[in-house]
């Protein structure tokens, strides 16, 4: 939902579902292939953003707006954070296992930003094409950030036995041929915050003035069609 406060500035409230995933076995880097980690997640994202359009919507009405109107956007938000990994055909929830010995929450703050453009279709309809980069204030969207735990420190957790937790933490032994595990304290991730990039296409509808009287405030509803 976009709310236009002026002819160029809008506030957006957005709720969306997105998927992220990575698999070291598909990497072109040999060191990643040997690390052999993987993850996937389906998360829910809520954002509040400010948008600035390059061209104004003219006072004569929506039909006179620019054929193509680029914009930038920046805001804050929150995302759910529940990474999973697959091992020997079974999928495991990683967050409850604390594979690096660090407990992190099921929600994470994000800073979304990006570029987009409105393409005029008709008086009340636009096609929006948008790129969004979101910086998460956590390094655990993929459950990989710090160092390897001592395998001896694992104990049965959340119906997952200690041996399986050790393999989820360091799955080198699952390779063919197996690779010896690394020493506890060896870097597992790089310690930086995670981020993700999305491209989307939306169909936007401008609410008619009859719904909000003579106010100059205009609203926009957008539906992601990716």
Residue 168 lies in a domain: no
pLDDT, the chain, mean: 91
Residue 124 lies in a domain: yes
Domain count, the chain: 1
Residue 55 lies in a domain: yes
- Give the model confidence (pLDDT) of 4-21 as tens digits: 888 899 999 999 999 999
Residue 42 lies in a domain: yes
- Give the model confidence (pLDDT) of 135-156 as tens digits: 999 999 999 999 999 999 999 9
- pLDDT value of position 225: 42
Residue 153 lies in a domain: no
Residue 220 lies in a domain: yes
Residue 166 lies in a domain: no
- 3-state SS of the chain is CEEECCCCEEEEEEEEEEEEEEEHHHCCCHHHHHHCCEEEEEEEEEEEEEEEECCCCCCCCHHHCCCEEEEEEEEEEEEECCCEEEECCEEEECHHHCCCCCCCCCEEEEEEEEEEEEEECCCCEEEEEEEEEEEECCCCCCCCCCECCCHHHCCCECCECHHHHHHHHCHHHHCCCCCCCCCCCCECCCCCCCEEEEEEEEEEEECCHHHCCCCCCEEEEEEECC
Q: pLDDT category, 123, cuts 50, 70, 90?
A: confident
Domain that holds residue 25: 2-92+102-140+197-224
Residue 147 lies in a domain: no
């Amino acid at each position: 939902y976009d709310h236009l406060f002026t002819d160029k500035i809008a506030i957006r409230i957005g709720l969306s579902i997105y998927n992220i995933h990575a698999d070291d076995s598909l990497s072109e880097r040999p060191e990643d292939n040997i690390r052999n980690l993987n993850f996937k997640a389906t998360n829910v994202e809520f954002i509040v953003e400010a948008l600035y359009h390059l061209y104004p919507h003219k006072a004569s009405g929506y039909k006179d707006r620019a054929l193509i109107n680029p914009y930038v956007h920046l805001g804050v938000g929150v995302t759910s954070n529940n990474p999973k990994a697959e091992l020997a055909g079974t999928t495991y929830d990683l967050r409850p296992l604390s594979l690096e010995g660090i407990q992190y929450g099921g929600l994470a703050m994000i800073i979304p930003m990006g570029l987009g453009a409105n393409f005029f279709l008709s008086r009340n309809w636009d096609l929006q094409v948008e790129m969004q980069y979101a910086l998460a204030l956590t390094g655990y969207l993929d459950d990989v950030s710090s160092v390897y735990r001592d395998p001896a420190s694992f104990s049965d957790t959340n119906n997952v036995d200690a041996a399986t937790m050790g393999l989820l933490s360091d799955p080198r032994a699952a390779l063919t041929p197996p690779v010896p595990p690394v020493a506890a304290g060896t870097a597992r991730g790089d310690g930086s915050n995670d981020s993700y990039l999305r491209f989307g296409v939306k169909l936007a509808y401008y609410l008619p003035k009859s719904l909000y009287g003579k106010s100059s405030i205009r609203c926009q509803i957008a539906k992601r069609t990716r």
